[in-house]
Chain A
Amino acid sequence: DAGVTQSPTHLIKTRGQQVTLRCSPKSGHDTVSWYQQALGQGPQFIFQYYEEEERQRGNFPDRFSGHQFPNYSSELNVNALLLGDSALYLCASSPLENLYEQYFGPGTRLTVT
């Protein structure tokens, strides 16, 4: 039973560029949440998707957008990258009937230069 997978594992981008991160949820999970974790801090909630729609959003600008596909996988897009966007981006999946059951992927480490 595969857990949550994320790709790529590492990414280096230049300020002003755009980036897309990908996440496949754990088998049987239909809800995906994205978090940003800056170095030395706890994860910060970006948004949550289920039924292919954004359902909740944290305090992140519109440069951060997402998408969920019919197979429940998800993408996180960040436009006009800033140096401050450098962080570990974590994806977590849950079954809709129990959002307390949340499993995290290994993360994508994004470096913006």
Chain B
Amino acid sequence: AQKITQTQPGMFVQEKEAVTLDCTYDTSDQSYGLFWYKQPSSGEMIFLIYQGSYDEQNATEGRYSLNFQKARKSANLVISASQLGDSAMYFCAMREGRHTNAGKSTFGDGTTLTVKP
């Protein structure tokens, strides 16, 4: 069964510094996608970054990068140059199967990030 584990309930970071949010996953499928979402207090789930299981290079999107270590089954999110607006809940998620038959997303319990001025 697929499972996502986020072991950091809360994290603090100083503005302009980098922060790493941890995520480990468990799956028996060879094809899967890993995702990170940001959820501000308003509730909307905002897509940040995606990594496919067959991608050899780590994904990057602006200030976000995904540190993908397949053998360790980890997919940590790195946020560089933190901003006050980065304060939110962050979720790691996984979808199994290829793009056309990936049915559901499995989410971790999230990490609350607080950026200090």
Stretch with Cβ within 8 A of A (4 or more), from B11-19, B60-68, B79-87, B98-106: B98-106
A45 engages B105 (CB within 8 Å): yes
Which residue of A42, A96, A102 is within 8 Å of B91 (Cβ)? A42
CB within 8 Å: A-B pair count:
69
Residues in A with CB closer than 8 Å to B44 are 104-107
| Chain A residue with the shortest CB-CB distance to B97 | A99
Tell me how many residues of B have a C-beta within 8 Å of chain A. 28
A42 engages B110 (CB within 8 Å): yes
Tell me how many residues of A have a C-beta within 8 Å of chain B. 27
B109 engages A97 (CB within 8 Å): no
Say yes or no for A8: interface residue by CB 8 A criterion.
Answer: no
A96-B100 contact, Cβ under 8 Å, with A43-B45, A90-B45, A103-B47: yes
Chain A interface residues toward B at CB < 8 A: 33, 35, 40-45, 48, 55-56, 58, 88, 90, 92, 96-100, 102-107, 109
